[in-house]
Amino acid sequence: MKRPFLILISLLLTSCSTFFVPSFNEQMYKSLEAGNIELSKLHQAIVVDGRPVPEFAKIEPLYVNSLAHFARARDLAEKRPDATPGLPSEESAKLIVQVIKNCEASINRLLTAHKARTQNIQMTDFNSQKGICSIPVAMENLLKK
C-alpha cells in the first residue's frame, strides 16, 4: 500500500516542478557558459591599461563566437519541450529567452560601436555587457535539481 502512494507522490512532485519552471537544460547551460568564456577573452583583448583597443578585424572572431554560443542557447531555450503553453513554466521559459536576447543585443551594441569606432570602448561598457550576459547562466543554473 505504501509503495503505490510513494510512487504517486513522486510523480506529482516531479510534475509540479515543471509546472512552475522548465527543467534544467545541460546543452543550453554549456552554450551560455561558452558564450561567457568568449566574452572574457574579448574583455582581455579589449581592456588592457595603457594599450589602445585593437582593430575590430583582429578580434571580430571573438564577437562572432560569443554571439554563436548565445544564439544556440536561445534556440534551445525557445524550443523547450516542457514549457507548456498556458502554464507558469511557459512564462519562465519566455523570460529566459528574453534575457538571452538582451545579452545578444548588448554584444551587438558593443560590436557595432567597436566596428564603427563611434565611441571609445570603456571598461564600464564592457562590464555592464558582461553582467547582462551572466544573468541567463545564473537563471539556468537555478533550474538544476
pLDDT for residue 108: 93
Provide the pLDDT for residue 7: 44
Q: Are 99 and 139 spatial neighbours (Cβ–Cβ below 8 Å)?
A: yes
Give pLDDT, residue 122. Answer: 62
- Asked if residue 59 lies in contact with residue 25, where contact means CB atoms within 8 angstroms, the answer is no
Cβ neighbors of 130 (< 8 A, separation 6 or more) are: 36, 39, 40, 43
Return the higher-pLDDT residue of 23 and 104. 104
Using CA atoms, how far residue 83 sits from 17, 78, 94, 134, in Å, is: 11, 9, 9, 22
59-75: pLDDT as tens digits: 899 999 999 999 999 99
Residue 4 confidence (pLDDT): 52
| Sign of the dihedral defined by the CA atoms of residues 30, 32, 35, 41, in that order | negative
Mean pLDDT of 79-104: 84
Side chain identity, residue 144: K
- Tell me the pLDDT tens digit for each residue of 52-61: 778 888 889 9
Under 8 Å between Cβ of 132 and 100 = no
Quote the CA–CA distance of 78 and 52 in Å, as a whole number: 39
Looking at 1.20.120, 2.60.40, 2.20.28, 1.10.10, the CATH number of the domain 21-141 comes to: 1.20.120
Q: Under a CB-based contact definition with an 8 Å cutoff, are residues 43 and 130 in contact?
A: yes
Identify the pLDDT of residue 97: 94
What are 15-47's pLDDT values in tens digits?
444 566 788 899 999 999 999 999 999 888 877
pTM listed for this prediction: 0.80
Residue spans of the domains in the chain: they are 21-141
